Structure 1
């Protein structure tokens, strides 16, 4: 019985999602235009992460182990 109530609750919550474009709240405006931007970015442009924020994943597989080269700056702590 509990499982059916939980399932019904999850289905009800899943149907509550809104599928319309995001807009600033009524009476509010978009954030200030960035200093170096020529025009005000749109909502979609503001919500799209830059490549720096979400870098591409490297799928390169290490084929064989390699010994690390000496690092002259890798010194033990003083003390």
Structure 2
């Protein structure tokens, strides 16, 4: 019984991934335009992440070591 339930859960989880591109339902409008925008964004614009949602990686290396300054709030527990 446990094996069957594990298999059913695994089957259900494997079906969660969508292979098709997301499209709005037929006959349904897209969400209203954001406040201050002159036009309603398209489905592709809504699905494209902004730089704030997906920031670029920073590979800047430290060129020299620096000592940390003291932290007056780093107190031992009471």
TM-score (norm 2): 0.56
Q: What's the counterpart of residue 51 of structure 1?
A: 51
* CA distance in structure 2 between the partners assigned to 1:61 and 1:77 by the alignment: 32
- Runs (4+) of structure 1 moved beyond 4 Å? none
Q: Please state how far the C-alpha of 1:30 moved relative to its aligned partner.
A: 0.6
Question: Structure 2 unaligned runs (5+)?
Answer: 1-18
Q: Please state how far the C-alpha of 1:38 moved relative to its aligned partner.
A: 0.8
TM-score (norm 1): 0.56
Figure out how many residues of one structure are paired with residues of the other and give that number. 60
Instruction: Report SS of the residue matched to 1:40.
Output: coil
**CA deviation string 1:32-65 (max 9, x = no partner):** 1101211011111111111111111101123443
The CA RMSD measured in Å over matched residues stands at 2.6
Q: Please state how far the C-alpha of 1:29 moved relative to its aligned partner.
A: 1.3
Taking a change above 3 Å as real, the CA distance of residues 62 and 43 of structure 1, as seen in their structure-2 partners, is same
Taking a change above 3 Å as real, the CA distance of residues 30 and 70 of structure 1, as seen in their structure-2 partners, is same
* CA distance in structure 1 between the partners assigned to 2:71 and 2:31 by the alignment: 46
* CA distance in structure 2 between the partners assigned to 1:34 and 1:66 by the alignment: 45
